[in-house]
Amino acid sequence: MGIIYQKDKRVGITYAYENESYPDKDKQQPRSRRKLIGRVDEATGKIVPTRERKPAQKEPTSKRAYANCRYRLPGIQKKSSSQWIAASTAETM
């Protein structure tokens, strides 16, 4: 394992990565995995750690729990939109 420095040309910031080399069995050539350590301070030359990244979610979660519920609940699709509006205004009064 080694440390690799890579400069972002757009912003001019140098980042430090931890590099791990491993063999690719399919193509019979070496590959590398990189993990970001942090950015390099221009004045001191030391590596300043970046914030921790959140781990990737296993399953995407939806905030809309009842999205497309009329396809799942057969009794709902028999009502028209005008019947829904009439029922909701009657309940609020």
User: Could you write out the three-class secondary structure of 65-89?
Assistant: CCCCHHHHCCCHHHCCHHHHHHHHH
Domain assignment present for residue 38? The answer is: yes
> Do the domain assignments include residue 60?
no
Does residue 28 surpass a pLDDT of 60?
yes
H/E stretch holding 13 reads none
The pLDDT of residue 86 is above 80: no
What is the pTM (predicted TM-score) of this model? 0.52
In a domain, 58, yes or no: no
Domain residue limits at 40: 2-52+67-92
**pLDDT at residue 69 is higher than 60:** no
61 falls within a domain:
no
- For residue 22, being part of any structural domain is answered with yes
Position with higher pLDDT, 84 vs 45: 45
Least confident of 12-21, 22-31, 58-67, 82-91: 58-67
Distance (Å, rounded) from C-alpha 87 to C-alpha 82?
Answer: 9
The reported pLDDT for the residue numbered 66 is 58
Number of domains in the chain: 1
From residue 81, alpha-carbon distances to 12, 21, 77 in Å are 57, 60, 10
Q: What is the pLDDT of residue 9?
A: 92
